[in-house]
Structure 1
């Protein structure tokens, strides 16, 4: 049986929910209805996947968080590091990339832990301190003549350590606020962006703390395939075993 105009409308509705990552099926009856069709009707699912493929996307999960998409870099739906504030400079892109990859290794220090769905809470202060320790290890690694396999990572740790943990604005609207000239700013910027993407939420029980969501864990599995994550996680495990 071929799909009708109503079916195609439902596919469009499902895709529109999927590309708004803060939406949940539990909050919208229409989302519940169309994702139930995706799970139960093969023809509907096949047509949806084909449309997403044309957009450079694929379904990573269709669980309680809705349709979670993996986006190809060339997709018109792709988020780019340069979309973050103050990432026009190459060094700032490196900082943002390091924080994002480091966050995955901080929350999930091994690929096995990526299959553990327990709640992960992240303090901006703790993550910043962990990243600073990581960069110090990378500095020692470099000083020993060992190769860092990812060129961007080699540049990123130098950029991170060149900044102080905190730096506050002294005038105007930025007075008393963290500026992009410190590492804590970049940690908070990434966690805030993840909140807007439905991958984290502010934890009201502690200051400057976020809870990572299931959506983040699903996406973290993709990042775990990258060489930078593998190297960071292995380096961290090696240091922990020595300690």
Structure 2
């Protein structure tokens, strides 16, 4: 059910442009048709809560992606043998694929949407408020846990990433990030202005969630434990020596 965009994506290294790896549409049109049919035939109905289990996160962490973009991939592009087990989060770099996900959520119109994911080297939590025609339509919560056994971020690149993440994560925990999708099938980060408002099909307000410690990324091995009640959602990360408990968040649509 996976589709690929075969058009080359240019990667700039100094004044040199190299063709980088293209991002797959993790679910193609046929896949969404099957998903929609399966959901609607499962006795689920519009207005019910919706829990989505995704092998990879739909919302990645910009800190890690910036690290890969600035340090790892440029060195690979010029032929240096940099080996690292992290890759760009595919959903973010394929606007058409991510738009299909949002359009399906809009069509289903769940009371609340929760994404459970893994298959990455870190744990995190994020909330997105999605707007269409300037009106708040959906709230999505994503909770990601790390591998149980494989230790993440080893070697010199792992040490460098840990330093960068520790420095930047605290400054990002209280910030809100805006991402929009325009009529040219582009996902763009940045504030919504009067100039670009007329070209936007929808936009979202993204906020990283954190426990009282303020960390938005956890690189120790853990198991995620999610508590869902009628009023709130609470995330916990069970680690070898301690448990990181997140603040409770309202499960209903909220700004």
Pairwise TM-score range, normalised by the shorter structure:
under 0.3
Higher relative helix content: 1
Q: Whose RCO is larger (CA < 8 A, sep 6+)? A: 1
TM-score, normalisation: structure 2: 0.24
Higher relative strand content: 2
TM-score, normalisation: structure 1: 0.25
